[in-house]
Each structure stands twice: as C-alpha cells, then as structure tokens.
Amino acid sequence: MKRLLYLAICLPLAWLTACDVHEFPDDFGTPSTMEVRIMADINFLTPFEDVHEITRAGAAGTENAAGPARLIVEAYTDNHPGGELYPSDIYGAEPCLRQVIPLDERAFCDDPVELTLELAPRAYLLLAWADYQDAETGDELHYTADRLHSVCFCGTYRGNAETKDAFAANKRIDLSRYRGQRNAVVEERITLDRPLARYEIITRDVAEFRRQRAAEARTGGDLSSYRVEVAYRGYLPSTYNAATDNPSDAVQGVAFNASLAEVTETSATLAFDYVFVNGTESAVTADIRIYDDGGELVSESTGIRIPYKRNVVTRIYGDFLTRSYNSGVGIDPDYDGEYDIYL
C-alpha cells in the first residue's frame, strides 16, 4: 500500500546549521535557508494490495498491529542533480538533516502527520522510513535505521510479528532555483511503499489430526501451545537500502519459532513473516517443523519453496500436521496473477 508525503517549502527568516556548508543571506538580507513542511499520510491499518491464496481452502485472518511507530526523514546533498546518483553521494556522507518523529496514534488514522525541516536551497535526495517501535521502551523493535540507506534487522530475528510491517520512499528534489527568494512556497509529493512481502502458512487438517491422535489413544493437547520452527535455507534479505529501494545484503542461518494461532475445528495458522523483496517478486526456501506441547516432533516438511511478491500477502495451505512434504515440493515462480499449487 502506498503512503504519501506532501512537502510544502517556503523561505522564512531562519538559519540552517545542519549541513557542513553554511548558507548565508545575500547582500540585501534575503534568507537563503528554506523551511520544509512535510505532510505525511501514513496509516499502518491500510491493507495489502492483494492476497494470493494457494489451494483456496479457508482463510487465515490478517490482523494489523497497533502500537507506537516512528517516521524518519533524511536529506542528503545531491551533487549530480538531473544526472546519475552516485553511491558516494550518500554512503560516505552524513545526512544534511535527519528527523525522527514519534507517530503514536497518528500512524493508525487517515490524518496526515506534519513535520518541519530546514534545508538550504540546493539539490537533495530525500529518504523516508516508517516502522513500529517497542511499546514499552519506545526503542527500535525489528529494524535498526541509523541510516536509511542501510536498514537492517536488530537483535534476534523474529518472525510471526505483525509489527514487522514498514514503509519507505526516496525522491530527488532540486531547490537551488529558490536561492535568494523570499517567501517562496513549493509543494513536493513523495510516495511511501511497503518494501516487504508477507506470507502465511496454514494447515487445514486440524480435525484429521485430532482423529488420528484419538485413534492412537493420545490426546491432541493444546494446539495453541504447539511450537513451529521455520528455518530458512540459503540467504535471506537482511538489509534494505531506501536510496535504491532494494535489499542490499543477505544472511544465512536465519530461523524463528512460532505458536499455532487462529486454531479452529479445521485449520490453524502455523507461521507468517515479512520479507524484504529484491525487485517485485522472489522466493525463499524453508524447512518447517512442528512440535507438540510435550516437545515431540509432530511433522517435518523440508525444502518448501515460498514465493512472495512485494506488497502482497501469499497464503499457503497444506496438511502440515498429518503429512510431511519433502524437497522439490514448491510453487511455480512464474507469476501470472494466481498461485495454484496443492500441497
């Protein structure tokens, strides 16, 4: 889902000291710094663009998280306005300006968020990032975003977290033509997109699993206390670059634990995750193991290929409690508007 930032730029009687090179008024006292008012339209409750279901059997709900969030805006000097943007313009430089704005309830309504920046009238690359914060401490929750050209996971990797949702954008603007002007007003609009895909793994065989356990004179136990382990094979995108709007690094050996959720008489959600997407769509391979409330291995499915598409939810249905799927079982990577694979 797209998010919009509206930038209104005017020339007040203010001085800028955020950049290394100071701007001074001309001989007539005309100010040469610009006040940038940003109207940010951010609503974390907006749904994904689409949902692709594999096997169409029942549905697992997707609840949006609620909690404190933040909006980060950085401005880097653009030394080549109108030309190619060189990585050295930002990777080896400090931002001219960086502002972090707590969003709290403003992240969950349609009202825009307003913030004010001060920039000298020159060319810039603007980067923006919005994500959730820790509800208790206000610290970063899932992502370290000290620099928006290198946003990465923080701490122990966590899946099965609604609060991993995030949004980002970049835009080049040239304010140099307003140098020396007084009371000029300019509006810019920048669109924030979700740089992530989401997938959900849902088992449809809860009733059959309970019948099998009963036939073995065993209780199915409390399914909500079952543990699911998802272990990714190969590399998983781990770092996102808001300047290029693509992942910039990946790591191996990533895994997370989840608990069965949304347990009904027939189905349950095993796990879900948000993944950075390189381009518009990609895939990841995972091993899925389910353990009962006594720690006994219930089933193991290995080499499951999970496709995902940017800003789209992919739901995979299978009989994961009563069957085991092996390597080679996967999903056609060619996207044609539907994923139709029966696991």
Query: In angstroms, rounded to a whole number, what is the distance separating the alpha carbons of residues 60 and 67?
Result: 22
Q: Give the whole-angstrom CA distance, residue 10 versus residue 185.
A: 4
Higher pLDDT among residues 193 and 202, named by residue: 202
pLDDT range class, residue 90, cuts 50, 70, 90: confident
What's the average model confidence in pLDDT over 86-98?
84
Q: How confident is the model at residue 42 (pLDDT cuts 50, 70, 90)?
A: low
Distance CA 71, CA 118 (A): 17
For residues 306-314, give the mean pLDDT: 89
| Banded model confidence at residue 21, pLDDT cuts 50, 70, 90 | very low
Q: Bigger pLDDT: 325 or 151?
A: 151
Per the listing, tokens 């404190």 go with: 68
For residues 103 and 141, is the Cβ–Cβ distance under 8 A?
no
**In whole angstroms, what is the distance from residue 308 CA to residue 333 CA?**
9
* Assigned token pair, 242: 């808001």
Decide if pLDDT at 233 tops 70: yes
Query: In the prediction, which pLDDT does 114 show?
Result: 75
Residue 44's pLDDT band, with cuts at 50, 70 and 90, is: low
- What's the token pair of residue 290? 């389910």
Task: Specify the higher pLDDT residue, 91 or 199.
Answer: 199
d(CA 161, CA 154): 14
Residue 28: CB atoms within 10 Å: 7
| pLDDT recorded at residue 7 | 53
Read off the pLDDT of residues 136-192 as tens digits, 9 standing for 90 and up: 888 899 999 999 999 999 999 999 999 999 999 998 989 898 888 777 677 777 778
Ranges of each domain in the chain: 3-192, 196-318
CATH, domain range 196-318: 2.60.40
Residue 323: per-residue pLDDT = 86
pLDDT tens digits for range 235-267: 999 999 999 999 999 999 999 999 998 888 999
H or E element at residue 134: none
H or E stretch at 210:
helix 206-215
